[in-house]
Structure 1
Amino acid sequence: MSGIDYYLIGNASSIARVALAWFTEDDGQDKSSDRWRADVVRIDRLAFEAGVEASLIVTKENDKAFPPWLSRLEGLDPDALEEFRVSKKKSYREYATGRYKHIATLVEREDEFFAEADIYKAFSAHAKVCIPRQHPDRIRFWYCTYQAFGQDLYALSPSFPGVGTWNRQMVDPSKKLGRPNLRNGVNSGYSAIPLVQRIHAAYLKYAQPGKAMTNIHADALSYEFGCKTRRDERGNVCYFHPEGAAFPTLSQFDYHVKQGFGPESIQKQKYGDTRYRSRIAPSKGKFSEATANLLESIEADAYYSKERPTRLLSNEPGLPLAICRIACVTSGYIVGIGFSYGGERAEAYRAAMFFAVAPKDLMARMFALDVSDDDFPCTGMSPKYISDRGPGHNAVAAMAEDDKPPIRDLAPSWMGQSKATIESSHPRDIEQEGAPSYVQSDLNMFELARREIQRTGLDNQASDASARLTLEMIAAKTPANPNGIARYLINRGRVDAVSMRLDRAIRSFLRKVTFELDASGLWLHGLRYDSVTYRASGLDQLPRGRQRLPISGYLLPMTVRIAWIEHEGRLIEIEGQLPIRDDPRQLHLSLVELEQTSGELKELLKDQRENATGSKVEARNKFTEATGKQWDAGKHVAGRAPARAGSSRSEVPTQFPTRNRSG
């Protein structure tokens, strides 16, 4: 017959015959092996070979390890499935071994068996001598299955994997499915098959973010299915339909909602996309898998220091310090760090970009730290910049068009996993229970910033980056930290960093401020600035008399030790100066602290003016009390005053002769 798949189960050379088997399935929804039948046909070997040569019989590659009724076992280890079986009297192997024992004799004397005149009678005769006695069709089915599928013992396994996969929609809708209700009896409840569409509609209507399935089911029973309630003899509230109409139980409602919408959709609806993605959804791999080179892509994000800095002019806590970091997606290497006081602002992101592109010896001078290329081996920005909406985006939006990264991605709001590399690099604090509290640091704002820079260098050296190591990196004994991976990629030229001139970086990333130039020097909020380059420029000679000239300049708001001013299209570096030779650490200030100091200085000047006036009054009063006269007592006399006032002839000292000791 054409169009049938035959399996070669015997080729007896002694009788020159070939045995072929084929399997047919009885009509019905049950896919178990009991609904399958095996038949056997024997043909002459020469006729079979002639049919193959004439392409009347076409060879078909059998790529299935298991028969159709065991298709769900494809690619699985049947022995491993034993761990997942809830109830088992015998293992799959024991079932298959028991069936094989009934056909073992037939397998062992295959040629003799196929030489029988009537193969079907031979199967029947063998079935009668089996203990216990078996049906001939079952023996024939087991034998053909074993021979057709590679003599694999597990091909004789029962088709338990198909249990429970039948189509529930094909049964009588008036018949309730599932196990009987042990509490209310066998006939209690209704079939949910006719209610599936109403269940789906009720879920869509009453489901809300954060709403539990029990509450959705309660709304559906009350508003959609019209259920009422009553109390039973034990005082429990029961629900029923006054007209005896069908309604779903919670288990039925939950089952059909999951069948109709899937667990993923339900969990997103209940917990929201963010929680589903961060806690429930399976991992789709690492973000670093999409990159190959150092600084091919960077992520920027900010966090707050757990401590509140101490104010410079008092012991009171200051506002929180926001710390922005920029990390390489490929290596986890933190290339930049910046700060803003009082909140997360674009200023922190621009400061981090400046840190990324500036020479590290310059950053060491600005923050009076031992920062070198050993701590930050790569300098530059990436062509791809990823940040969230808000300050991170605004920092780039305010830049000149030719300074912006060519590729800019915005992470969705409240989606930390969209920039997982930088989010996971933030310092983690242990949340404590109990009354709210905070930590007031003994460090001021500038000192906290210095510590966070040191922490960033430490993280580059101490963070575990072993999950990012490739096989070649491991063979090269690359240190399993971000700096180690960065150096490995640098040594092989796999760097996408975009360098930037220092003057361009200063103008793009630092805050623009206005200095005041007068005859006494260059000033910003009461702090005088000076440098050899500044004096060589001749700027200090411009003011005349009391003239005050505004001079444009730039500085990093977290440190005022070093700044730059514009002069004739060039930037001139200047440094803060103390009015006397004293401890230079007094210049370890942020711009906010310098402004506070300037405000305090103005208050001191006001106090000094009052103090000076009071001191003058006090001196005059004391003089009057001592002499009885006023401080400026006297009168103006016309004419020229004597050349030597008060030196009359009588006041000339007497000259006495000296005695000559030699005479």
Structure 2
Amino acid sequence: MIRIGTGSPLAAPQGYKNLFAGHTYYLLRNSPVTEVVTLVRFVQQPAKDVVYKNAKKPKRTITPDPHPIIERMPRDVFEDALGRHIIPAQRRALPPWLEQLSGLDLDSVDSERRDPARTHADRIDQKLLVINPLVQRAEELIDSPDLETRINQHARELTPKQNETRVRLWFFTYLVFGRNRNALFYPIHKIGRWDRLTTVSEVKRGAPGYRGSAHGYNTTKEMHDKIIASYIAEQRLGRTEPEVYVSAMRKHFGCKAREISVGQRRQLEIYHPNGDPFPQEGAYFYHVKRHFEPAAVRTARIGRNRARKTIDPVKGTFSASTWNLMQNVEADAYRVHDLPRGYVEGSDLPPLVVVTKRDTASGRLTGIGFSQGSETGAAYRMATFCESIGLQEFGRLFGLKVKSPGKGLSPTQITDRGPGATSSALPRDASLLPVVREMTPAYSGVSKGLIETSNPKTLKDDEPPSFVRSTLTVAQLARREIFRVLEFNERTDVGSRIDPSLEHLVSRQSPNGVWEALESVGRNDAIQVDFADAVRACLENLPAKLTREGVELAGRNYYSRSPDFQSAMESVGGSRVLDVKVYVLNACTRHIWFDWGGRLIELDVRYPIPVDEEVNYMSLAEAVQYHQHTQASARRFQSHSRAASLDIARDYEAQTGEKWKSGQRTAGRPKRGNLAARREATEAARITAGKRAA
């Protein structure tokens, strides 16, 4: 059903009777007295030039107010045409010339103006005061055949007299648009739209400066173009606005500096030696920011990444586009502040670098990997290994008993453009490669802000340079970082990630709690990986030697009582050595994995003597360092051994007078069978046994 009343916009798409096609008409009254329908159409008049009598005032182009035109139609003709020739048009809250103000809080406009001579509210009240007598008898006036004449007469009788066309416009607009006072608002959105650059003015525009209201120059088209060109040439990253302005004045406007007197003081000012116009700093950047937009100017000054991080509006959270566990995973590395202690002389080793991976949906840290000294692709691969087997199994390899839910790989991985983006950071098994790899822009931490916020923070200070020397070894620091991951997963508040429909399943609003809730309803995209496949795809594959005593790697012996390994050792009997490849967890060499006959065998480190349990958990770097240390010690002891032999031989000869090596080689066999030989042998045995001869 068509609902039409006073103020309804109507259109005649094909034209009808006295109604034109392409125009909007507004219903003023369907009169039961005269049986005539009265419509009004607002005609927007073209812009026109205004020339002031005062020659100093510039010529301006203005847009006149809309012109109201009344159309009438017999009641029965109008009603018969409704729905066929005359149809409803788009309804507006405000008149078409105020459409851009629709939705704004126009009542607050005056509060934002600084010391206005007259408020907009007062202006609208004045309009209402003018048309109020007409509104009081609106029905009578609209039914009158000389409607416009009577309104014009009312405008002339007022003191002071009012413009007749404007009074008609106010009256019809007020009635048509629901007697809304804002329909009489001024088109403030059109203020200042005339082109000042092409309009010459002898009067100085803008707010008066401290040197006088007429001091300075208006900006012309030529000056504006030079401002923009100079800004493009002089603006660089890290350059401040004053630096840009000074450089532009010197290079592009030809300005210089001179000393002037201001009262009792002397100071410098910028001037042009030929008196040519140049912009003040405020005007210069006013036109720059109008041309380039303020956000672009800020970005050019401080850089895109910093602007995005500190100034640009937030475009949403990273978790807004994920709904399943492991749908997206971010990876990043950080350095542990404490320097680990070495086994050799307790020296300070290079810092431990930790790579963590974080699930976007739950906020849970899913994997952790380690490297020493620098960020490496192997550390990312180790984190993927941890993610594949789960934190619980990963902790076992470090001698830890931990509880942590979930395991599996994500089909999507987000890293920066460092080592994590290289091929060395990916699993060797093609079937385990991420389906989607996303690399963030360089130096753009906010592009993977989720994992960045989970990295431990170091407070900066202004004290002299210092470092923290840890009492822990690499493996011990790695253990601590594993527990830090467990702490993060259990104590971080991720309540904002909880789906209201699953809130009853979330036991606690930690990453572990959200993970368990989502996993319980099958919202998990993790790819499950067999332990052996994870070892082969992610861990370092290093050369080692298989002997009949076990596998030798970095000076450490590895052994297993499994039948498969015993079979492997039987294949290298005697002094035979077989070159093999083993899989190693770099951060902890308590275990290695040996591939024999297509089956992966886990080997344990063993020493020929009882050792402290912590020694078993050396990192590969520490094991290599200690092996090199023992080899150097062996070489030093060899030299010591030779010197000791020489010293003892000399001492023997000095004390006994006998030669250290006194025997002579004689051909044939020794004579031991005759009576004299047996008697001498018996006497020698008694002497060496400390017994006297009988």
TM-score (norm 2): 0.83
**Contact map agreement 1:17 1:43 (CA 8 A) in 2:** yes
Moved more, 211-220 or 40-49: 40-49
Which residue of structure 2 lines up, in the alignment, with residue 432 of structure 1?
Answer: 461
Distance 1:311 1:277 in 2: 42
Distance 2:219 2:203 in 1: 6
RMSD: 3.5
Q: 1:347 aligns with which of 371, 378, 386?
A: 378
- TM superposition shift of 1:74: 1.2
**Contact map agreement 1:461 1:482 (CA 8 A) in 2:** yes
Distance 2:444 2:624 in 1: 37
User: What SS class does the counterpart of residue 114 from structure 1 fall into?
Assistant: helix
Q: Quickly say closer, same or farther: Cα 1:101–1:312, change in 2 above 3 A.
A: farther
Q: One-letter code of the match for 2:89?
A: E
Residue by residue, what CA displacement relative to the aligned partner does 1:213-261 show, whole Å, maximum 9, x if unpaired? 3333333332223334433334433334444433333223222222222
- Say whether 1:49 aligns with 2:68: no
**Contact map agreement 2:47 2:62 (CA 8 A) in 1:** no
Which residue of structure 2 lines up, in the alignment, with residue 321 of structure 1?
Answer: 352
**Contact map agreement 1:363 1:371 (CA 8 A) in 2:** no
Q: Could you list the runs of 5+ residues in structure 2 that have no partner in the other structure?
A: 1-18, 49-59, 665-669
Which residue of structure 2 lines up, in the alignment, with residue 11 of structure 1?
Answer: 30
Matches within 5 A, 1:84-483: 84-88=112-116, 95-116=123-144, 118-124=146-152, 126-127=154-155, 134-172=162-200, 176-186=204-214, 188-234=216-262, 235-372=266-403, 375=404, 377-394=405-422, 395-396=424-425, 399-474=428-503, 476-477=505-506, 479-483=508-512
Q: Quickly say closer, same or farther: Cα 1:478–1:123, change in 2 above 3 A.
A: farther
Q: 2:39 aligns with which of 20, 23, 30?
A: 20
- TM superposition shift of 1:308: 1.5
Count of residue pairs brought into register by the alignment: 646
Moved more, 569-578 or 635-644: 635-644
Q: Quickly say closer, same or farther: Cα 1:314–1:85, change in 2 above 3 A.
A: farther
Distance 2:499 2:194 in 1: 47
Q: Quickly say closer, same or farther: Cα 1:301–1:543, change in 2 above 3 A.
A: same
User: What SS class does the counterpart of residue 205 from structure 1 fall into?
Assistant: helix
Q: One-letter code of the match for 1:306?
A: H
Q: One-letter code of the match for 1:542?
A: S
- TM superposition shift of 1:435: 2.0
Distance 2:494 2:692 in 1: 97
Q: Quickly say closer, same or farther: Cα 1:638–1:80, change in 2 above 3 A.
A: farther
Distance 1:331 1:351 in 2: 22
- TM superposition shift of 1:79: 3.4
Distance 1:582 1:401 in 2: 41
Q: Quickly say closer, same or farther: Cα 1:245–1:162, change in 2 above 3 A.
A: same
Distance 2:111 2:477 in 1: 55
- TM superposition shift of 1:39: 4.4
Q: Quickly say closer, same or farther: Cα 1:32–1:329, change in 2 above 3 A.
A: farther
User: What SS class does the counterpart of residue 367 from structure 1 fall into?
Assistant: coil
Q: Quickly say closer, same or farther: Cα 1:361–1:247, change in 2 above 3 A.
A: closer
**Contact map agreement 1:336 1:352 (CA 8 A) in 2:** yes
Residue by residue, what CA displacement relative to the aligned partner does 1:32-90 show, whole Å, maximum 9, x if unpaired? 997334344555433443554762xx334233211233223212222354554444567
Q: Quickly say closer, same or farther: Cα 1:270–1:634, change in 2 above 3 A.
A: closer
- TM superposition shift of 1:554: 1.1
- TM superposition shift of 1:115: 4.2
**Contact map agreement 1:338 1:348 (CA 8 A) in 2:** yes
**Contact map agreement 2:506 2:517 (CA 8 A) in 1:** no
Q: Quickly say closer, same or farther: Cα 1:615–1:239, change in 2 above 3 A.
A: closer
Which residue of structure 1 lines up, in the alignment, with residue 6 of structure 2?
Answer: none
Which residue of structure 2 lines up, in the alignment, with residue 658 of structure 1?
Answer: none
Distance 1:300 1:549 in 2: 39
TM-score (norm 1): 0.87
User: What SS class does the counterpart of residue 552 from structure 1 fall into?
Assistant: strand
**Contact map agreement 2:551 2:559 (CA 8 A) in 1:** yes
User: What SS class does the counterpart of residue 237 from structure 1 fall into?
Assistant: strand
**Contact map agreement 1:359 1:379 (CA 8 A) in 2:** yes
Matches within 5 A, 1:639-654: 639=672, 640-642=677-679, 644-645=682-683
**Contact map agreement 1:10 1:110 (CA 8 A) in 2:** no
Distance 1:95 1:361 in 2: 75
